[in-house]
Amino acid sequence: MTSEPMSAQQEDDFYADAANQQPQGTPRRRKERLSTPVPVRFPPELLEEVRSAARADDRSVSAWIRRAVEHELRRSA
């Protein structure tokens, strides 16, 4: 592997090989447990924008929303 970051397609190709799916090093765990899920509804157009932004950041929709909320809370503090 090179020291340059891989694109999402390069990552997909790399991990498609079973030999590259073996865990390396010590396991990493989340720093803290998440609370219970909070249902939130979005208009369809806004949800598609969120999905698109999450894909662009290579994050899940949930992770993208958590980061956006954290950012907004820090900004208003």
Q: What is the pTM of this model?
A: 0.59
Residue 62 to residue 34: CA distance in whole angstroms: 12
Taking 70 as the pLDDT cut, the residues of the chain under it are 1-2
Q: Indicate the average pLDDT of the chain.
A: 89
Q: What percent of the chain has a predicted confidence (pLDDT) above 70?
A: 97
Tokens of 2: 């090179």
Q: Number of C-alpha atoms within 13 angstroms, CB side, residue 57?
A: 15
Res 2: pLDDT: 53
Domain range annotation of the chain: 39-77
